[in-house]
Amino acid sequence: MQEALYRQTSARMLAVCLRYVKDIAEAEDVLQTGYIKVFQKVKEYRGEGSFEGWIRRIMVNTAIENYRKNLRSMNVAPIEDAAEQASTGFDFSRLGMQDLMKIIQKLADGYRLVFNMYAIEGYSHKEIAETLGISEGASKSQLSRARAILREEIIKMEGINYAKYTG
Amino acid sequence: MQNIQDKAFDELFKEKLGDAEIQPSANLWGNIAAGLQPAAKRRFPVYWMAAALALIVVGLGLLMPEAEKVRLQAPAQLAVHEDVVVPVAPVVVHLPDAGATATTSDKSTPLVIAPRLKANAENKSDKQKMQPERAADRLVNKQEEIVLEPVQLPKPVNETMIASANVQEDNQPDVTVAKTDEAAGKGIRNVGDLINFVVNKVDRREKKVIQFETDDDNSSIVALNIGFIKFNRKLDK
């Protein structure tokens, strides 16, 4: 029963975990801790929302706890002048899931968390601020900074892809 | 190439990554299953601990008023020791002594003292001289009525009877109360005893959740085993 649930959902959940961490090994650590929590707390699931959504939330929370544990070693995101490339366009169609995953993983921890929580999980800035213990303003500025960095990275990647394509 | 607004930008990431799948390594389920085992075992004792602690708290609440009684008991017992002597001494024996003690006491202190002295004096003849002083204080202070009685000296027998009877009446209730309290108290005398009792019922292990060492007045913790908090004075000895 437990194993069946794991087999059914673990691939999607590992992708969730991977978005929040640096590499696959750390993602599997979070996944393991997350599933143990899922099976221990399964009685607390009250049928609100989809069961998989409930599991996903536990995974995200576990990833955030993991981030907090590592906070001490976390390097404060470097304050560079954000090159305002926001208006630069690019073609997503050539970027696969793995490319985007790599780009997200390049982000500093703080940016990665805020971008994931806001853009993909759909948290509000207020929720993010409460969960991470930062101000709403910090959440917003980290989000826009994260977007700017992601755009830069995508353009770099597109350039490489384009070079491959033409070369 | 097209301009992409922030919202659309986020949406594209959500689209591509939101439902992404990556197969975890094969041994991961084994680790999770192993991680679940000890947790399941752990659960049971934790509930028992919680139950035991709840009982202890309730027990403490119930016993608080009784704990004060225990304090009252201590002075009562001290008083009893003096009193206990009284019943041992047969009242009848006093009759001859009554006259003698009365005369000696007359010289130093009021006549009244004589009859009461007998009861105390009987036990230890050595103390006869010392006792009149103490006894005099008590009698004069407590029962001024008796001061009138010395005039009736001719009837020493009756007075002694009355005096001793009074003494017994005063003291007997104390004695009995003290005895019953003591008898019941050997089971559970204070909070420590109660907690030990409850914990013994609930926790059958050698190292109990909490244990007290108790004597008549005090109880002190000798063992504590809650989670990572482990303290066993008893076992160290």
The domain ranges of chain A are: 2-73, 92-166
Domain total of chain B: 2
pLDDT score for B197: 86
CB contact under 8 A, A6 and B31: no
Candidates B129, B112, B111; CA nearest to B120 is B129
Do the chains contact at B10 and A101, CB–CB below 8 Å? no
Count of C-beta atoms within a 10 Å radius of residue A70: 13
A125 inside 8 A of chain B by CB: no
CB B217, CB B201: distance < 8 Å: no
Q: Are residues B167 and B229 in the same domain?
A: no
The answer to whether residue B71 sits within a structural domain is yes
Residue B211, pLDDT score: 82
Domain contains B160: yes
In a domain? residue B20: no
Q: What are phi and psi of B219, to 5 degrees?
A: -135, 140
Interface ipTM above 0.90: no
- In this structure, which topology does domain A92-166 adopt according to CATH? Arc Repressor Mutant, subunit A (1.10.10)
Residues B47 and B71 in one domain: yes
Contact A15 B21 (CB under 8 A): yes
Residue range B41-66, pLDDT digits in tens: 566 678 888 899 999 999 888 887 65
Give per-residue pLDDT as tens, A88-139.
455 666 678 888 999 999 999 999 999 999 999 999 999 999 999 999 999 9
* B166 and B113 both lie in a single domain: yes
Q: Give the residues across from B212 on adjacent strands.
A: B221
Q: A28, B28: Cβ pair inside 8 Å?
A: yes
Predicted pLDDT of residue A86? 40
Q: How far is B203 from chain A (nearest CA, A)?
A: 25
Domain presence at residue B30:
no
Closest residue in B to A87 (Cα–Cα): B3
| Burial (0-12, 13-18, 19+ Cβ within 10 Å), A152 | middle
Structure tokens at A67: 């981030």
Give yes or no: residues B154 and B95 share one domain: yes
Q: Are residues B73 and B112 in the same domain?
A: no
Q: How confident is the model at residue B129 (pLDDT cuts 50, 70, 90)?
A: low
Residue A6, pLDDT score: 94
Going by their DSSP bridges, the two strands B210-214 and B229-232 should be labelled as unpaired
Q: Do B94 and B167 belong together in one domain?
A: yes
User: Residue A14, SS3?
Assistant: helix
CATH class of A2-73: mainly alpha
The pTM (predicted TM-score) of the whole model is 0.48
Please, what is the average pLDDT of chain A? 85
- What residues make up the domain containing B101? 89-172
Residue B204 belongs to some domain of the structure: yes
Q: For A40-81, how does the pLDDT look when each residue is reduced to its tens digit (9 = 90+)? A: 998 899 888 899 999 999 999 999 999 988 876 555 444 444
* B101 and B162 inside one domain: yes
**Residue B232: its pLDDT value, please?**
76
- With respect to residue B29, please indicate whether it lies within any of the assigned structural domains: no
